[in-house]
Chains A and B, each alone.
Chain A
Amino acid sequence: MNNLAKWYRYLGIAALLFSLSGCSNSISLFSEQAYQQDITLKVESLALMNKADEPFKSHEKEVTELNKNLDEAYEYAKGRPENDITTLQWKIMISPDRHLLGGFLKRWKDKSSLSPFFIKEARDQVSRAFDTIIELESGKMKPGEVK
């Protein structure tokens, strides 16, 4: 009888935990594909930003290609379940109306070329912004941790 009471108590706790895990905010599992994509895009983006003291027209094709890859990363993030936070990070990163990578590329196009000091400072901001996406992805629960 004593064991049965314990059994019911454990079942009650389990039911409570299951209900809690179902009703509160959760975040997507780690994705190796997203992680690799983040690193590749960081390297490509920073390399291209270094060239922004040259005329935009000389690098227009590279910018178009990078924008295409960034859009793909955003769409991939958006398509993953419970991935709202990372999706919002990507939106801030690539939006031409904001002031990270998307804003920088638009500014380069508008002004044709940018000053070396401005490039250095903006590049530092974009690099740190990429790190926030990468660090969040690597901090997510790995599929192997879910039994």
Chain B
Amino acid sequence: MIHFNDFLNTLKKNLGELAKEYGSQYKDAIIKDGTDFALQTHVKLDEWLQMVVKGQLTKDDLEYLLEGQKDLMRMETLKNTGLAIAQKDKLQRAMLETVAGSILKMVP
């Protein structure tokens, strides 16, 4: 049977790899997203296990859905990483405009 701790360990490993890929500045956001997601998954896993006992979900279906949760977590993390980069782009743009505006004000 699938154990939640095994699933959590795989998630943590994937999160670590993702944090390396996109730079340490996004590490905190990536870890927070991962933790939140793991907690949500725990609730889902309990529900799915009950459905397996009731015969409304096969073990094969359960394994597929767990893999789906991992893919979904990766999607969430990619989204948050992208949004953090977009925010950084906006801040850089605003700073450039402020500097340029200040320079232009000094031109006689």
The 7 closest A-B pairs by CB, nearest first: A99-B67, A99-B68, A132-B79, A85-B82, A132-B75, A136-B82, A27-B85
- Contact: B82 with A115, CB < 8 Å? no
Which residues 76-104 in B have Cβ within 8 Å of A in the complex? 76, 78-79, 81-83, 85-90, 92-93, 95-97, 99-100, 102-103
- A40 within 8 Å of B by Cβ? no
A36 to chain B, nearest CB (A): 18
Chain A residue at minimum C-beta to C-beta distance from B74 = A92
Which of B44, B57, B70, B96 is in CB contact (< 8 Å) with A117?
Answer: B57
Q: Which residues of A contact B79 (CB under 8 A)?
A: 89, 132-133, 135-136
A21 and B96: CB pair below 8 A?
yes
Q: Shortest CB–CB separation between residue A114 and chain B, in angstroms? A: 8
Report B35-53 CB contacts with A as 1/0, cut-off 8 Å: 0000000001000100100
A69 to chain B, nearest CB (A): 19
B74 CB contacts on chain A under 8 angstroms: 92
In angstroms, Cα B61 to Cα A125, docked, is 13
B2 interface residue per 8 A CB criterion: no
- B103 near A14 (CB under 8 angstroms)? yes
Is B5 interfacial (CB 8 A cutoff)? no
Task: Please report B residues at the A interface, Cβ cutoff 8 Å.
Answer: 22-23, 44, 48, 51, 56-58, 61, 64-65, 67-72, 74-76, 78-79, 81-83, 85-90, 92-93, 95-97, 99-100, 102-103, 106
Judge whether A27 and B89 touch: CB under 8 Å: yes
On chain A, the residues within 8 Å of B48 by CB distance are: 121
A147 contacts B78, C-beta separation under 8 Å: no
Q: Which of B83, B97, B99 contacts A147 (CB 8 A)?
A: B97
Q: B89 to A93, Cβ gap below 8 A? A: no
* A125-B89 contact given A10-B106, A107-B64, A139-B83, CB 8 Å threshold: no
**Separation of A92 and B76 alpha carbons in the complex (Å):** 12
A117-B57, A132-B79 given; A25·B23 CB < 8 A: yes
Complex: A141 Cα to B82 Cα, angstroms: 11
Residue of A nearest to B87 (CB): A139
For A140, give its contact among B75, B81, B86 (CB under 8 Å): B86
Knowing A10-B99, A125-B69, A129-B71, the reply to whether A99 touches B86 (Cβ < 8 A) is no
Are B96 and A122 touching (Cβ within 8 A)?
no
A25: chain B residues within 8 A (beta carbon): 22-23, 85
